[in-house]
């Protein structure tokens, strides 16, 4: 089921299996038939660890979503609540337990906190008078979830907000614990580098945890050579920019959640001749996206402008493979063709799906300058032009007319906030009168309740008035070559292809660390927020790797506060470069894009239009 997790340099299936083993052990503690009541947010991440079949093997007969009122009827002995440690969820659980107690006194209740138990939550259950009803109160430590052969995520959506707005370091503790679990399975990581305040905290916690377990030496040969911890606030610009890789655009436009995307069904309908259009499906088409699908693994990290050619090449290969049947003369040849048929049919279906997705994206992104411009694609193109002007330092110190027009047309607020924040980041803060003007226009157009959101963005460093007259961004841009003219989108030779010209700052830092090292950019590192540091962890004798000739080193890059699919594509590109000598595994607190990131910093984001 998860074979694609073991294809890469590091077998991430080991981590998945360890998580499954713990889940089985907990389920076996509750003997007899079971119903699981899910905190809805956990169903996606859990789906990546265990399918329903595994739960069924351990006598799970029913599954419900946690909601207030009475639980649906189920003829089971055990009711298990799988929840995040949130106080508001405890009140719903108390309501559920009360309504059940009146009906079924013989039922046993259990609660599983993910990823940690919480004294506050248990106290709330006690106040509600239901704590005594629970036979088992346990925690299930699901910190790092394998998403793909080179990608791990904690799916901790509020990590950035907690760290930078609320000064709450809970997510950093979970990160450190997750990294300790990783080291227990894959060996101690000898070198740790980091940039940013949060990175420093995580490294300190890891070193402290290691000292606390000083008696037990980890005897596993290290799989990772280096760990790089990067704070999201070291590079606030990259997530605000529109991603231009295939996977990045799917996420920007439709949103990828726990490896799945929901798409408009029209393009996927199998129309037969003469069939009336009234029978077209209305349910969104749900597709799983990961490297288990050969074609997706091949095209997902390409710039979208290179996807059409790749799909057309694949179509020719598949068509030629099907034509082979005419050449099969002998029984042996026919048998061989038939044995390949399931794989060929899967490839054809995969091609049809991705051609449909590419058409959906093209409708939004491409403009034909010779015909009347379609409004959606015109808006996309104009938006992109303004983003690229900001990235190259054009007119970042004055009110932007495009942003003014968008506010006047009452475009979605998140679109406005992404652009205004981007202008602020590229100018090291906005001039006071520009800052006040944008603030006033946004509040008068979208409502004064958004003053809280603007305040949050200011606190997080995304939107702020200029405090010093010096703007360091042009220096950082030039020194790290963040803007590359004429980026080659078809056959890239630099990471800047993922944003058609802009090289993500976070990935440039990663690239420079590998070669020639951060000492060469000491001045730029000082301009970026937070300390930079290096730590070494002692390995037991005999565990030092003897590197083979030409063997690549492996670096785990951990983004604290979120990472975008375009950054992941850039790291994969670096892994595949022949002369890089480095392979990257990516870990993060959350997979994000500009929209989901800004939403996580908003107050009452549910009031927003998408």
Of 440, 470, 500, the last residue of a domain is 470
Q: Which residues is 139 bridged to in the sheet? A: 113
Structure tokens at 163: 């760290």
Question: Are 501 and 485 within 8 A, CB to CB?
Answer: yes
**Are 115 and 9 contained in the same domain?**
yes
Our measurement of the distance from residue 47's CA atom to the centroid of its chain's CA atoms, rounded to an integer in Å, reads 16
DSSP letter (8 states) at residue 483: B
According to the model, what pLDDT value does residue 512 have?
Answer: 96
**Are 389 and 436 contained in the same domain?**
yes
As a whole-number percent, the residues of the chain with pLDDT over 90 amount to 73
Among residues 542, 543, 552, the alpha carbon closest in space to that of 583 is found at 552
Question: Are 588 and 235 within 8 A, CB to CB?
Answer: no
Structure tokens at 440: 């006033």
According to the model, what pLDDT value does residue 610 have?
Answer: 38
Radius of gyration of the chain (CA): 26
**Are 532 and 491 contained in the same domain?**
yes
Which region among 68-77, 350-359, 488-497 has the lowest average model confidence (pLDDT)?
A: 68-77
Question: Are 153 and 589 within 8 A, CB to CB?
Answer: yes
Predicted confidence (pLDDT) per residue in 107-140, tens digit:
899 999 998 899 999 999 999 999 999 999 999 9
CA distance 410 to 413: 8
CB-facing half-sphere around the CA of 429: CA atoms within 13 A: 16
Predicted confidence (pLDDT) per residue in 220-231, tens digit:
889 999 999 999
Domain extent for 584: 143-212+224-234+486-541+561-591
**Are 321 and 229 contained in the same domain?**
no
Residue 21 lies in a domain: yes
Sheet holding 256-257, edge to edge: 256-257, 260-263, 285-288
Predicted confidence (pLDDT) per residue in 63-81, tens digit:
999 999 888 888 899 999 9
Residue 402, preceding peptide bond in cis (omega within 30° of 0): no
Residue 218 lies in a domain: no
Instruction: Assign 564 to helix, strand or coil.
Output: coil
Query: Distances from the Cα of 121 to the Cαs of 29, 95, 115, 127, 172, in angstroms?
Result: 22, 14, 13, 10, 20
According to the model, what pLDDT value does residue 374 have?
Answer: 45
Residue 32 lies in a domain: yes
According to the model, what pLDDT value does residue 202 have?
Answer: 98
Residue 99 lies in a domain: yes
Please report which residue ranges of 254-330 form alpha helices under DSSP H.
294-299, 307-323
* pLDDT band of 93, cuts 50, 70, 90: very high
Q: Residue 422 belongs to what H/E stretch?
A: helix 413-426
pLDDT at 575 over 50: yes
Structure tokens at 64: 């419900």
The domain that holds 156 is classified in CATH as: 3.40.50.1910
Residue 475 lies in a domain: no
The domain that holds 318 is classified in CATH as: 3.90.830.10
Question: Mean of the pLDDT values across residues 175-202?
Answer: 96
According to the model, what pLDDT value does residue 371 have?
Answer: 40
Residue 273 lies in a domain: no
Question: Are 345 and 368 within 8 A, CB to CB?
Answer: no
**Are 318 and 386 contained in the same domain?**
no
**Are 262 and 163 contained in the same domain?**
no
According to the model, what pLDDT value does residue 442 have?
Answer: 98
Indicate the number of domains in the chain: 4
pLDDT at 309 over 90: yes
According to the model, what pLDDT value does residue 278 have?
Answer: 54
Residue 251 lies in a domain: yes
Question: Mean of the pLDDT values across residues 340-368?
Answer: 86
Residue 556 lies in a domain: no
As a whole-number percent, the residues of the chain with pLDDT over 70 amount to 92
According to the model, what pLDDT value does residue 607 have?
Answer: 47
**Are 251 and 185 contained in the same domain?**
no
Provide φ and ψ at 24, rounded to 5°. -60, -40
The domain that holds 452 is classified in CATH as: 1.25.40.850
CB proximity list for 395: less than 8 A, separation 6 or greater: 389
According to the model, what pLDDT value does residue 132 have?
Answer: 92
Other C-beta atoms lying within 10 Å of the C-beta of residue 190: 18
According to the model, what pLDDT value does residue 338 have?
Answer: 77
CA atoms 67, 70, 75, 80: torsion sign: positive
Residue 516, preceding peptide bond in cis (omega within 30° of 0): yes
Of 436, 470, 504, the last residue of a domain is 470
Question: Are 409 and 380 within 8 A, CB to CB?
Answer: no
**Are 26 and 149 contained in the same domain?**
no
pLDDT at 235 over 50: yes
* pLDDT band of 604, cuts 50, 70, 90: low
Angle at 13 between CA 12 and CA 16, to 5 degrees: 100
pLDDT at 241 over 90: yes
**Are 187 and 62 contained in the same domain?**
no
**Are 15 and 97 contained in the same domain?**
yes
């Amino acid at each position: 089921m998860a074979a694609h997790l073991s294809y890469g340099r590091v077998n991430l299936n080991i981590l998945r299996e360890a998580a499954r083993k713990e889940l089985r052990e907990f389920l076996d503690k509750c003997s007899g038939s079971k119903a699981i009541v899910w905190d809805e947010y956990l169903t996606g991440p859990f789906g990546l660890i265990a399918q329903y079949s595994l739960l069924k093997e351990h006598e799970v007969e029913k599954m419900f979503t946690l909601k207030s009122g009475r639980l649906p009827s189920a003829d089971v002995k055990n009711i298990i609540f799988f929840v995040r440690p949130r106080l508001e969820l405890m009140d719903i659980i108390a309501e559920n337990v009360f309504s059940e107690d009146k009906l079924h006194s013989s039922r046993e209740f259990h609660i599983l906190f993910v990823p940690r138990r919480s004294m506050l939550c248990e106290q709330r259950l006690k106040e509600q008078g239901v704590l005594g009803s629970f036979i088992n109160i346990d925690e299930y430590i699901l910190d790092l979830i394998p998403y793909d052969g080179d990608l791990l995520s904690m799916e901790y959506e509020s990590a950035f907000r907690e760290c930078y707005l609320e000064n709450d370091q809970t997510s950093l503790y979970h990160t450190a614990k997750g990294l300790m679990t990783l080291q227990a399975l894959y060996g101690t990581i000898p070198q740790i580098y980091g940039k940013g305040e949060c990175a420093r905290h995580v490294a300190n916690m890891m070193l402290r945890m290691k000292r606390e377990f000083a008696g037990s030496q980890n005897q596993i040969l290290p799989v990772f050579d280096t760990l790089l911890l990067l704070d999201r606030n070291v590079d606030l610009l990259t997530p605000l920019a529109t991603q231009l890789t295939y996977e990045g655009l799917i996420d920007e436009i439709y949103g990828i959640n726990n490896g799945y995307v929901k798409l408009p069904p029209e393009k996927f309908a199998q129309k037969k001749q003469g069939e009336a259009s009234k029978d077209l499906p209305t349910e969104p088409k749900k597709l799983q996206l990961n490297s288990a699908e050969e074609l997706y693994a091949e095209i997902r990290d390409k710039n979208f402008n290179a996807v059409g050619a790749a799909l057309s090449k694949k179509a020719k290969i598949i068509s030629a493979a099907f034509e082979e049947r005419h050449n099969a003369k002998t029984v042996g040849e026919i048998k061989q063709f038939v044995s390949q048929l399931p794989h060929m049919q899967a490839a054809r279906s995969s091609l049809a799906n991705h051609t449909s997705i590419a058409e959906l994206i093209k409708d939004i992104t491409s403009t034909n300058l010779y015909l009347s411009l379609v409004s959606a694609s015109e808006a996309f193109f104009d938006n992109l032009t303004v983003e690229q002007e900001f990235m190259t330092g054009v007119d970042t110190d004055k009110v932007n007319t495009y942003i003014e027009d968008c506010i006047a047309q009452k475009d979605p607020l998140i679109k406005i906030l992404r652009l205004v924040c981007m202008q602020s980041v590229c100018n090291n803060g906005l001039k006071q009168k520009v800052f006040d003007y944008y603030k006033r226009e946004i509040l008068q157009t979208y409502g004064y309740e958004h003053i809280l959101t603007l305040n949050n963005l200011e606190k997080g460093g995304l939107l702020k008035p200029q405090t010093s007259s010096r703007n360091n961004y042009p220096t950082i841009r030039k020194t790290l070559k963040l803007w590359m003219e004429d980026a080659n989108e078809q056959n890239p030779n630099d990471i800047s292809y993922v944003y058609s010209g802009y090289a993500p700052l976070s990935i440039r830092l990663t690239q420079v660390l590998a070669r020639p090292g951060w000492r060469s950019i000491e001045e730029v590192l000082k301009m970026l927020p937070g300390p930079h540091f290096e730590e070494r962890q002692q390995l037991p004798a005999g565990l030092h790797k003897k590197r083979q000739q030409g063997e690549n080193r492996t670096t785990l890059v951990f983004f604290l506060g979120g990472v975008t699919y375009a950054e992941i594509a850039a790291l994969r590109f670096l892994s595949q470069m022949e002369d890089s000598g480095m392979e990257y595994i990516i870990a993060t607190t959350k997979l994000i894009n500009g929209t989901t990131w800004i939403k996580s910093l908003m107050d009452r984001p549910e009031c927003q239009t998408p």
